[in-house]
Amino acid sequence: MNPMTTDHPATDLSLSVVVCCYTFDRWADVVRGLVSLSDQDRRPDQVVVVVDHNEALFDRVRELVQWSEMTIDVVENSGERGLSGARNSGVAVATSDIVAFLDDDAAAAPGWVSDMLAAYAEPDVWGVGGAADPVWNGTAPAWFPEEFGWVVGCSYTGQPLVPAPVRNFLGCNMSFRREVFELVGGFREGIGRVGTNPVGCEETELCIRLRQAEPDARLVYDPKVRVSHRVSDDRHAFRYFRARCRAEGRSKALVSGEVGSGDALESERAYTTRVLPLGVLRGVADLFRGDVSGLRRAGAICIGLLWTTAGYVSGRARGGRITPAPATQPAVDEGLVAA
């Protein structure tokens, strides 16, 4: 069961892609994402579309996939409403060596599957994640700092520019060997996104739990493994930026309560002491070069850090707990699966 002892080269590994959706508002994005998978030079061996407690959407997706040349299973979320339960339901149906996750508002770049599988060439690589390029409706707000790309679920300044080990991945573009879920269970409910509620960190908590259970496991970020991630209009607003930062702080507090603040905040320490100060200086320098929005970006960095810290402090004070991760993959009613 240990991936480190596998004899299968990366080119022989099979790959399932889990896409979780919940609303008709993203219907065009879901279709675009499925088309991007069908257009791959090396198609996934299986695609699992999980519909999160929306019967009408479930029926619509089943009608859509009848015309696909790929193997697509459609399943309802058998757990609690939310992204964690939906992802666990997808894992339960996935049959491949590698289980990848693509957001319902993301599309895979050409070569995504091939590049992801190639990154598993080393047997001690247990997970592979990649970059997410933002697709704004028009252009990004002039005040938006690239250091906070994670606020809209995208890549951000401070991430590696070459393949490198990381603590955790962006949830819209990540994958794991199947054995990961057998070893540590699934995503914890009570921490991840539910609908449009701007919370997260369920993938961070899973990655930390894996490293604690198997310290030699490597999680590799490869910027060649890319997706495009649409930024909805509501995420252009500064109020969303502020709410997302505060929610991130609260989520990190929950993760710290489960896995310890040392592991939960390991990456954040370098980010706040090196990446963000450089971002502020860059914004001020842009101001002196004639870009008046540079000062606004510098201010947004400071405000973002303040609200994230406030959310963390508030979350720790509340002492919330996360629903335990399922020890085994959840059972799925076979009647809910459409091939």
User: In order of start, what are the domains of the chain with their CATH numbers?
Assistant: 3-236 (3.90.550.10)
Q: State how far the Cα of 116 lies from the Cα of 294, in Å rounded to an integer.
A: 36
- The string of DSSP codes covering 43-106 is --SEEEEEE-S-HHHHHHHHHHHTT-SS-EEEEE--SSSSHHHHHHHHHHH--SSEEEEE-TTE
What does the CA dihedral 221, 222, 227, 230 come to, rounded to 10 degrees? 40
Tens digit of each residue's pLDDT (9 = 90 or more) over 192-240: 555 445 556 789 889 998 988 999 999 999 999 999 999 999 999 999 9
- In this prediction, residue 257 has a pLDDT band, given cuts at 50, 70 and 90, of low
Tens digit of each residue's pLDDT (9 = 90 or more) over 175-189: 999 999 999 999 987
Q: State how far the Cα of 257 lies from the Cα of 60, in Å rounded to an integer.
A: 40
CB 128 within 8 A of CB 284: no
- In this prediction, residue 90 has a pLDDT band, given cuts at 50, 70 and 90, of very high
Query: pLDDT value at position 255?
Result: 75
Residue of 168, 128, 155, 92 whose CA lies nearest to 13: 128
Q: State how far the Cα of 178 lies from the Cα of 200, in Å rounded to an integer.
A: 22
Q: CA angle at residue 5 from 166 to 84, to 5 degrees?
A: 45
Q: Which residue has the tokens 């409706």?
A: 137
Average pLDDT over the chain reads 87
H/E stretch holding 177 reads: strand 173-177
First-last CA distance in the chain:
28
Tokens of residue 49, six digits:
């579309």
Query: What percent of the chain shows pLDDT beyond 90?
Result: 71
Tens digit of each residue's pLDDT (9 = 90 or more) over 8-19: 566 689 999 999
Distances 239 to 199, 246, 300 between C-alpha atoms, Å:
14, 11, 11
pTM of the complete model: 0.87
H/E stretch holding 220 reads: strand 218-230
Q: Evaluate if residue 335 carries a pLDDT over 70.
A: no
CB 24 within 8 A of CB 57: yes
User: Residue 141 carries which side chain, given as an amino acid letter?
Assistant: P
Residues 56-78: what's their mean pLDDT? Answer: 94
Rounded (10°) angle between helices 202-213 and 83-93: 60
Residues 315-331: what's their mean pLDDT? Answer: 59
CB 102 within 8 A of CB 227: yes
Distances 69 to 43, 51, 57, 187 between C-alpha atoms, Å:
10, 20, 21, 30
Residue of 54, 32, 235, 220 whose CA lies nearest to 140: 235
Locate all alpha helices (DSSP H) within the chain, ordered by sequence: 27-38, 55-65, 83-93, 112-118, 178-184, 202-213, 238-259, 261-264, 266-270, 276-288, 293-318
Q: State how far the Cα of 131 lies from the Cα of 150, in Å rounded to an integer.
A: 11
Query: What percent of the chain shows pLDDT beyond 70?
Result: 84
Rounded (10°) angle between helices 27-38 and 55-65: 30
Tens digit of each residue's pLDDT (9 = 90 or more) over 137-162: 999 999 999 999 999 999 999 999 99
